[in-house]
Amino acid sequence: MTTIDETTSMSNERSGTAAGKPRGPRFLIVQNSPRHRAVQAVLIALTVVALLWAAGQPTFRLGQFTNVFIIAIAVVGLNIVTGYTGLLSIGHSAFFGLGAYTTGILIVRYEFAPLATIPLAVLFAFVLGLLVGLPSLRIHGLYLALVTLAVAVSFPEIVRRAEELTGGAAGMVVRSRYLAPPEWTGLVRGERAIWMFWLSAAVLAIVMLLVRNLVKSRFGIAMRATRDNEIAAAANGVSIARTKILAFGISGAITGLAGSLFGMYIGALSPDGSFTLMKAIELVTGLVLGGIATQIGPLVGAFAVVFLPYWTASWAEGPLSGVVFGVLLIALVFLMPEGIVGRLGLLVRKVVAIVPSDHPRRTAASHDPPPEPPSPPGDEPLTASR
Amino acid sequence: MELFLERLIIGLTNGSVYALLALALVVVFRGTGTLNFAQGELALFTTFIAWWLTTESFPVWIAIVAALLTGFVLGAMIERMLIRPVQRRNDMAVLIVALGLFTGLNSLAGVIWGSETKIMPSLFPNGLDDYVSLAGARLYYDALTVWGALIVLLVLMTLLFRHTKLGLHMRAVADNSESATLAGVRTSRILAVGWGLSGAIGALAGVLVTPLAAEQLGLTTMFHIFIAASAAALFGGLDSLVGAVVGGITIGVLEAMLTGYVSFIGGALQQTSALFIIVAILFVRPNGLFGTKRVVRV
């Protein structure tokens, strides 16, 4: 059971008490109705406007936004396994690093075009994900977190050890001429920042869309059922082993994809740079801060973890930023366990609800009170609370 | 032969350190059924306090006692104020609080005392000549101290759990805290004491290990030890004191032998080999070698 379940079941109860006198959301928007389409169109337009505004920012800001998108992709990956499947992982820095190093090595040693390295980076991270997922069959909860912690710790060690391939502790530099935007974009080498910005934005959008569909799919339901009650899920025919391992694989693949982009973005890789346990903790912080098991949470969380160190830099330098992170994490668990998006989602759902077209409250018009309260969209628990 | 003996001694000493911290993990697990991810950093923080006291020209033994007391108080406070309120919610919440403590404590030590390494004075003479010769191999006094501390601690903890009312209550709370409460055990106090004890044991491990550690007292000193200690605790099944000690020593000796004889692994892959030990053990026996089997009721 995750924190999100508690909050949603609470909101269920709240609207449940209003069964006699409907007191649910003020506006109901029917799914796929013109009004729903219009709302979606407005949101997409707003996103595009925001992106265009961001693309016009100076190079330094642009790089920060790119970093946000890349971290967001990584957090989306983490969200699959930790948010939707309920398996704790603090080892995702290893997937991130594997993606980055795959891209770096393929470009430097085998002269791949940067974009062509992405499939391999994703594949390797997927396989590593399956491997890390294996222990999750027998090991539960905090034990699994310990195993993933060890994965996070051993990644930099292995990189340092495989010196011929990775450059060892000294790291490796990808020359910027290798990282120039491809010709078909019409961008020149000096415009790498804007190219990386649009590339990461596009990849993030695609990944978020795919994950949205994945979560709604049969497999997504299996993931959430496994999280909410493993035994009940198994009794209902969910293959727990397959679900967990595959979820880890997909999660690793997405985070590896983020790592691959990060390799292109940063250009210089070192084992102690961005692939240590601290990165994994940063990803977890982003996930919790944005909202576990929400679709926009990773993006919001990524914004926070990228910009927070900058904002606090004036009064918190160096190690103090670590203290800020620690305090923030603990405070979040106490004050806002559902995260920013989770909390906002609860507020929004009080006002607006999106319901399927055969929803009772709509078909019954205003003749009699609805037999059931409208279920909030998004991530409702599939089984009753334990 | 000399080389082998020297390796063995190094392995036993490192293993005893892992075992000490593993004991701290086991005490928390037996009391509350959770894993304290911040155990290593807690030990680091208390060790820094001990070091700081010695720079203020307090004698070493006072510094160590102060570290133990701080460890106890910090442990109990963390349980009471941070862990208990969220423990009923889920594992995720506990993990995130522990991660927060992990980064927070480590960085706080850096903020207060700076990131350069410190030399922690040893309780016993630890010069280059302070050793007993053992068939040609050198056995330093501070290594002996760690061995002794481990043995004494193991005996004390066993006595505590087996023969005292407090130990009985701790076992009862770990087994089923609701029944224990109904039977009149003051559960909340027991939990706090459990965490306090583990904080104190961690502090002891910290002050004993830093004079031995190659990197002395720095912000990363305890990290490797924590990883190895959790491997050791898992080896024993997380709820067995003897298991933790056997696990710690096995990992220590294995590590020393691997570093010495298998040049491929060398000194670089220590933590990775600890990882493989953890995973291999959990795969064969999810409850560890000495652990109790937990039955899940549907």
Query: pLDDT digits over A4-54, tens only?
Result: 444 444 444 444 444 445 566 777 777 778 888 888 888 888 988 988 888
Confidence of residue B265 (pLDDT cuts 50, 70, 90): low
Instruction: List the structure tokens of A305.
Output: 């973890």
Residue B19 lies in a domain: yes
Rounded to whole angstroms, the Cα distance separating A215 from A209 reads 10
Contacting residues of A for B41, CB less than 8 Å apart: none
Alpha-carbon gap: B201 to the closest alpha carbon of chain A (Å): 21
Name the residue with higher pLDDT: A344 or A380.
Answer: A344
A 303-322 near B (Cβ less than 8 A): 318-322
pLDDT digits (tens, 9 = 90+) for A113-136: 889 999 999 999 999 999 988 877
Rounded to whole angstroms, the Cα distance separating A341 from B190 reads 38
Name the residue with higher pLDDT: B160 or B122.
Answer: B160
Contact A2 B90 (CB under 8 A): yes
Residue B121 lies in a domain: yes
Alpha-carbon gap: A329 to the closest alpha carbon of chain B (Å): 5
Rounded to whole angstroms, the Cα distance separating A59 from B278 reads 46
Give A4-36 as a DSSP string.
HHHHHHHHHHHHHTTSSS--S-SEEEETTSHHH
Contact A231 B296 (CB under 8 A): yes
Q: Which residue has the tokens 């340092």?
A: A160
Residue B166 lies in a domain: yes
Helices A141-161 & B221-235, crossing angle to 10 degrees? 130
Rounded to whole angstroms, the Cα distance separating B202 from B196 reads 10
Assess A137–B contact: CB distance below 8 Å, yes or no. Answer: no
Across all residues in chain A, what is the average pLDDT? 81
Name the residue with higher pLDDT: A77 or A373.
Answer: A77
3-state secondary structure of A246: helix
User: B95-99, B250-254, B268-272: which range is least confident on average?
Assistant: B268-272
Highest mean pLDDT among A248-252, A311-315, A317-321, B177-181: A248-252
pLDDT digits (tens, 9 = 90+) for A60-99: 889 899 999 999 999 999 999 999 998 888 899 999 999 9
pLDDT of B261 above 80: no
Residue B65 lies in a domain: yes
Confidence of residue A375 (pLDDT cuts 50, 70, 90): very low
Domain containing B78: what range? 13-221
3-state secondary structure of A368: coil
pLDDT digits (tens, 9 = 90+) for B83-118: 888 877 777 788 888 888 988 888 888 888 877 777
Question: How many contacts, defined by CB atoms under 8 Å, are there between A and B?
Answer: 147
The domain total for chain B is 1
pLDDT digits (tens, 9 = 90+) for A249-302: 999 999 999 999 999 998 889 888 788 888 898 899 899 889 888 889 999 999
Residue B254 lies in a domain: no
Nearest to A151 among B111, B238, B275 (CB): B275
Rounded to whole angstroms, the Cα distance separating B199 from B137 reads 34
3-state secondary structure of A128: helix
Q: What is the pLDDT of residue B286?
A: 67
Contact A2 B91 (CB under 8 A): no
ipTM: 0.80
Contact B111 A319 (CB under 8 A): yes
Q: Which among A4, A5, A146, A287 is the top mutation candidate for probing chain B, defined by the most B β-carbons within 10 Å of its own β-carbon?
A: A146
Q: What is the pLDDT of residue A147?
A: 81
Name the residue with higher pLDDT: B297 or A168.
Answer: A168
Q: What is the pLDDT of residue B293?
A: 63
Domain boundaries, chain A: 25-56, 62-175+187-277
pLDDT of A102 above 90: yes
Question: Which H or E element spans position B131?
Answer: strand B131-134
Rounded to whole angstroms, the Cα distance separating B106 from B67 reads 16
Across all residues in chain B, what is the average pLDDT? 81
Assess A386–B contact: CB distance below 8 Å, yes or no. Answer: no
Pairing of strands B131-134, B137-140: antiparallel
Instruction: List the structure tokens of A209.
Output: 């869309």
pLDDT digits (tens, 9 = 90+) for A187-241: 877 788 889 999 999 999 999 999 999 999 999 999 999 988 888 888 888 888 8
